[in-house]
Structure 1
Amino acid sequence: MALIQVRDKAAVQLKQTLQMLFDNADDTLFEMADRATSNAEQNAFFEAMRDLRLKRKSIERTFLQKVFECFTALNQYEIGKAPQLDVASFDNLSLVQNDELEETVALDAMVAKVMSRDGVALGHITARLNALVSKKIEDRTNPLGPRVLCESFLDACRSLGVEIKVKLIIFKLFEKYVLTELDAFYAEANQSLIQAGVLPDLRSAPVRRQPDRPTASSRGAQAGSAASGGATGDEGVQEVFGVIQELLTQVRGSAFPRREYPADAVPVSSVDLMRLLSHLQQHLPQQPADDYDLRVNLDQLLSRASARSGRVRVVGQVDDDVINLVSMLFEFILDDRTLPDSLKALIGRMQIPMLKVALLDKTFFSRGSHPARRLLNEIASAALGWVEQDEAQRDSLYHRIEQVVQRLLNDFVDDPSIFSELLAEFLAYTGDERRRSELLEQRTRDAEEGRAKAELARKRVEEALNQRLLGRTLPEVVVRLLREAWSKVLLLSCLKHGVESAEWQAALQTMDDLIWSVESHEAPEARARLLELVPGLLKSLRDGLASAAFDPFSTSEFFSQLEALHVQAFQRLRKPEPEPVEQADGGLESPPLLLDLPEEPAEQEGAPVMVAVVEEIVLVAPGETQVPEPELTLADDDEALVFVDNLRVGSWVEFQEDEEHKLRCKLAALIKPTGKYIFVNRTGMKVLEKSRMGLAVEYRRKAIRLLDDALLFDRALESVIGNLRRLKGA
């Protein structure tokens, strides 16, 4: 109900903003036409005005329909179709690619602006929607997110016959009249979900629109203000950091040692503190995650500075709180079981750069879209499916993360813009990786769906064979023909036409006729039926085996043996010779010759080999073996089955294969017809297949655990604040 309310409000508000867009589009395009430098350019704008007026309702309807479809898909999971390749003329290929590139660049820029401005509010909507729906969503797939809205509008405008220059102007209007209203829109959506009781405790300080990135001088002023405990000019940031600071003050002495300084101790300036941290950054050992203590090394530098100046130099209280907070955050990160150990060591080397950016910019703690915070989260997210390897340095992901860390250590002094640059590069890399993995993952799902259909068809064929053969004694060649050859004809018919089709019924009838033709019959009319049946039966068998591409040599051998069986059947059904008829002259009339039966062979052939079918027939797909299902019966409310039933498509899990080896994989699909859970690695390749009961068995032996795919920094901050509150209450 709450989801429907959010959807309906979204539709109303989006419709209103779209109407504002179209109401102002004429004026904008007319002004552009007025400023045109040529008749052709002017005509292009006038044509665009006319086209937009004609297609306004269609674009609006298509856009809103796509938003509705995105909401509908939240509670659905369907195995999609294989991606289709667009057909394009080679003559126009370059032009099409350039236009699409400009559209993509414009779309990415619009999305980035909204995420920078309203990322926190959108993140809360995403978290709340995840609590309502079965399909895991992210900010980029949120129906209310800027990417989905922009892509929906882009698709709705496909029908416009305008050149790219005009289309980009329409996109700017979409940004001006629709995207700029999303902050109020998100606030209302969050409030609606809170009132419906969806994660009401998920709160944050009000997010205000941030100015452009500060210059070096303004950053210095902010850092100095923070060191002295002054305001930064953003009440929301101060509120968040102030709450954390208050908790740190209250647990000082229990969470970390209370420091006692001489009365004449001099706090180092923020500029000097940054220099000290930069020195430590440049001389960071290769493995700081094991035994490196940032506070101890910083205190040693301060002691040297104190000895040189003759006065005790200490870290100011606000900066000291930031150091303690970042230290606790990285303690959580380095203890997190979700991160692979090798990558923990790399991420651990980011502690000093993260501390420096936190000292420069307190929005680091409150703004989910902060570039440094996002970089850390994106690295952790990409590392979720990474598996330890013997030669880690050859892994492209490991190598890319290592490059990011090394760039930070080498180049970051006091300009946080490097985080935005590294974030953009890393997102470009992971975007390419994700697209490749999604394509392979989709192919995996398609293949598994095909396997599921084939498995169901095999079950149908097994049922049909067992229904007719189980418990009977028949010639061995017929049992073998049905099991090895005709089963393929039945399988093909089931897959192509279904079990309700005339083709399937005809294949079953052929099987029934074959069985009847080789059984013993006493009824007088059996002979006539056999004579009538055999020619059509043989034709149906030949046609069916040919359609299934069965081996011609084996087919010929089967028919040779079948012919012998039918000859014997005819002989068994030979009519008894009638008694001689006495003629009028007293002689005896001989009975008529049976010309329609084959002659007796010179040597009587032996009886056919008979077999009794006492075990159920089980068909196995080529290249596969039957894997026995775990013999275990559990109640539906058993903890293990509850765990399995709560797994969502997209969830990452870790299997403990043995004492040394672990397998990290993602649930890519649940094939409902067969009940199979299909897992893939981070490249999208299938690595595991389990049944519901098989997963429950793994859970009961503690060999499977769910990996927390929530944002790493957010989890760390939540954990630290939770620990501080517990210490405060102790």
Structure 2
Amino acid sequence: MHNDGKVVPLHKAATDQANHSPLARLPVILLQVRDKAAQQLRHGLQELFDNADDTLFEMADRARNDVEQNIFFEAMRDLRLKRKNIERGFLEQFFDAFVGLTQYDPTHNALPHALMYDEFAPRSDDMERSVAVETMVGRVLKRDGFALDQLTARLNALLGNPLDDQHNPLGPAMLCEFFLQAGRNLGVEIKVKLILLKLFERYVLADTEQLYAEANQLLLATGVLPELKPAPARRAIDRAIANVSSEESDDTPPVDESVQEVFAALQQLLAHVRGSVAPTLESSAAAQPISTRDLLRLLSHLQQYVPALAAQDDFDLRNQLEQLLTRVSVRSGKSRIVGDADEDVINLIAMVFDCILEDRNVPDSLKALIARLQIPMLKVAVLDKSFFSRSTHPARRLLNEIAEAAMGWGDCDGEARDSLYLRIEQVVQRLLTDFVDDPAIFSELLADFLAFTSDQRRRSELLEQRLRDAEEGRAKTELARRRVERALNQALLGKTLPPSVVTFVQDAWSKVLLLTCLKHGDQSAEWQADVHTMEQLIWSVQRHDDAESSLRLLALVPGLLKSLRDGLTSSAFDPFATSEFFSELEGLHVRVLERSDPADQASPMVEVSQQIILQTADEGSAALTSVHLPRDAVGLRQVEQLRLGSWVAFQEDDDHSLRCKLAAIIEATGKYVFVDRTGMKVLERSRVTLALEFERGAVRTLDDTLLFDRALESVLGNLRRLNRAK
């Protein structure tokens, strides 16, 4: 299994190789940068493949002939079959690139293959691909080059290596390289590859602003080049609404054309569901749409009753609006309806919230709070259409940050409602109470919430790091214990010895060997000396009939006794037990020198015929399953896809599940350690046991990608299918 965790493979430590592992030298903060970026990149790739099918289908529909159409249909089939492999290959190369940062050699800084011609590809195809990649990379650098330069500078300062943007694992050139390499086995023509590259730019490279901003912020928070000024806002749309880290002017910002284009495309998809918000009033007069300002007044009126309404399972925003419109129509004597654009926003927000509230990844206790945010989110979407096109919109970010912070929630009732629950409840109540028509409140609440969660995250990360250190220590001790067991069994098995010597070796000298192995390793001179002392002790109490053996024993005993005493002293062994054993050992040596018959010995001899198993303080780590699974077992594949930071849910019974995060993978012992959202250890599993639980459905992986974005994409996918069906 590909190792990308923050825990060093400890079986290498036992052979004194862990200190040379590149991953062992990566700072913890760099691993956090990597994992945070991997989460966004994984989400982008999922969006890419979710949309690739529709794009290729549309291309096939517009094909000029059957041959061209078949190209796109075959590409769709090939992509479906290889999607998971491409996603996995991309992320594996991404993780490997971070490991390679410790080995980066500027004297061998060849361009990534994505920026070089492929000598095995047809020249025209190779050139088209290279031009496309260079254009994509150029657009990212022009747009977000400033933030990338800062990130590269911080990586240089952190690692002490002269890295450049082209070889930064988060740079566009390397990201394109990962994608091309991961998809090299796709059997598609160049026109399909160019389409996939465009989708890669749209769904992965389009969000490099957020990618670089979060990476820079993580490094800045740990004091890496704090003097660098933040990167300027990327788009004009970022000036359309107050942001967390920038001051806004009072002037009305210009409308961004790209926002209008995105919303126009959404309206085409939503055209088939219009008419769901209409008053139940018969009128001969033509229907008159209410203004957006009047719609906001109606929503503000509803907003006052959200706490009571949200407690009801049958609360339907569109139905509530219909009732209000009916009352307005009766009062005015005219049939009043909502305008097309506003109704499209209402329908889209309602469907997104329906999707969120049905999402199994969202804790039930959080759904009740999110349901109360529907009207504030609808109002901000009515006011600012960039809400749908900009993932960094403060209102969207606030919802996503709330969902991310609460990913590890279980049942939060009564006294169990902790500080995080109360903070989210305060955010919701503040929006319901204070938000009228000024979206700046979302920026204010987002800044406060990020400050709160940042403090909580630091505390949990500190606990997680302590846990990893402790688990590493336990694993190292377990490896040393197994090594000592092998040494004892090699020396004792098959031998006939005095019981006191067998007990001494197993109970006392094993501790000396354990300490030596932990401190110096089993390849050290100290280890070899202690093992040799044990072998000499065993030899010295066995009967030997030749005169040479007696002379050897006489010469051996003084040094043997000194080595035994020194070893026992270093392990702080009980001095009274030590004195008693040495007295008995002296008698054993005398009888050996006198060559007395074993039958005349005061102490009987015993044959060591069973394997020696040393006791361990951590009985849980010693428990190993005897079940063996085939390498291609579904459960094992699911386990292999887990990364540090992955959230999972263990089903404890029919009504309760435990949500926890993978905090450590101890490969030496095959142990997976999970923590709750505060960083406290809640359980551990062996690799096989975890695989078996996956197979029987007792555990499932939680999707921790951006909640609103995930729900929006799901709704849009449903709308596209609905439109194609019609």
The Cα of 1:393 is off from its aligned counterpart by: 5.5
Distance 1:413 1:625, change over 3 A: closer
Letter of the aligned partner of 2:585 in structure 1?
L
- Once the two structures are superposed, residues 596-646 of structure 1 have per-residue CA deviations (whole angstroms, 9 ceiling, x without a partner) of xxxxxxxx9962143332321122332535643222222211111111112
Structure 2 residue aligned with 1:535: 558
Counterpart contact for 2:279–2:336, Cα < 8 Å: no
- Once the two structures are superposed, residues 335-372 of structure 1 have per-residue CA deviations (whole angstroms, 9 ceiling, x without a partner) of 11111101111111101000000000000000011000
Counterpart contact for 1:371–1:423, Cα < 8 Å: yes
1:122-521 pair list within 5 angstroms: 132-134=90-92, 150=150, 153=153, 201=199, 203=202, 208-210=235-237, 212-213=239-240, 233-250=255-272, 263-286=285-308, 287-288=310-311, 290-391=313-414, 394-521=417-544
SS at match of 2:660: strand
- Once the two structures are superposed, residues 146-196 of structure 1 have per-residue CA deviations (whole angstroms, 9 ceiling, x without a partner) of 7775466468789xxxxxxxxxxxxxxxxxxx99xxxxx988888777777
Greater alpha carbon shift after TM alignment, 283-292 vs 369-378: 283-292
Counterpart contact for 1:82–1:443, Cα < 8 Å: no
Structure 1 residue aligned with 2:703: 708
Match of 1:698 among 693, 701, 717: 693
SS at match of 1:210: helix
Distance 1:279 1:258, change over 3 A: closer
State how many pairs are aligned.
554
- Once the two structures are superposed, residues 385-410 of structure 1 have per-residue CA deviations (whole angstroms, 9 ceiling, x without a partner) of 22324546541111111111111111
Q: Report % sequence identity.
A: 56
- Once the two structures are superposed, residues 551-606 of structure 1 have per-residue CA deviations (whole angstroms, 9 ceiling, x without a partner) of 222222322332332232233269xxxxxxxxxxxxxxxxxxxxxxxxxxxxx996
The Cα of 1:448 is off from its aligned counterpart by: 1.6
Structure 2 residue aligned with 1:674: 669
Counterpart contact for 1:82–1:446, Cα < 8 Å: no
Distance 1:82 1:278, change over 3 A: closer
Structure 2 residue aligned with 1:727: 722
CA distance in 2, matches of 1:682, 1:358: 31
CA distance in 2, matches of 1:302, 1:76: 65
Counterpart contact for 2:645–2:661, Cα < 8 Å: yes
CA distance in 2, matches of 1:250, 1:309: 29
Counterpart contact for 2:325–2:337, Cα < 8 Å: yes
Structure 1 residue aligned with 2:10: none
CA distance in 2, matches of 1:626, 1:293: 52
Return 5+ residue gaps in structure 2 as ranges.
Answer: 1-20, 30-36, 49-86, 102-140, 159-163, 184-195, 208-233, 243-248
CA distance in 2, matches of 1:306, 1:132: 57
Distance 1:538 1:497, change over 3 A: same
CA distance in 2, matches of 1:447, 1:639: 31
Distance 1:641 1:191, change over 3 A: closer
Distance 1:626 1:710, change over 3 A: closer
Counterpart contact for 2:279–2:329, Cα < 8 Å: no
Distance 1:653 1:124, change over 3 A: closer
Structure 2 residue aligned with 1:99: none
Counterpart contact for 1:466–1:617, Cα < 8 Å: yes
- Once the two structures are superposed, residues 481-519 of structure 1 have per-residue CA deviations (whole angstroms, 9 ceiling, x without a partner) of 111110111111111111121111110111001111111
CA distance in 2, matches of 1:614, 1:436: 52
Counterpart contact for 1:289–1:349, Cα < 8 Å: no
SS at match of 2:239: coil
Counterpart contact for 1:392–1:398, Cα < 8 Å: no
Counterpart contact for 1:489–1:544, Cα < 8 Å: yes
Letter of the aligned partner of 2:302 in structure 1?
L
CA distance in 2, matches of 1:672, 1:438: 21
SS at match of 2:572: coil
Counterpart contact for 2:621–2:669, Cα < 8 Å: no
Letter of the aligned partner of 1:565 in structure 2?
L
CA distance in 2, matches of 1:468, 1:157: 52
Greater alpha carbon shift after TM alignment, 370-379 vs 441-450: 441-450
Letter of the aligned partner of 1:682 in structure 2?
R
Letter of the aligned partner of 2:236 in structure 1?
R
> Alignment RMSD, CA only?
3.9
Distance 1:373 1:82, change over 3 A: closer
SS at match of 2:408: coil
Distance 1:371 1:257, change over 3 A: closer
Larger radius of gyration: 1
Letter of the aligned partner of 1:325 in structure 2?
L
CA distance in 1, matches of 2:570, 2:412: 48
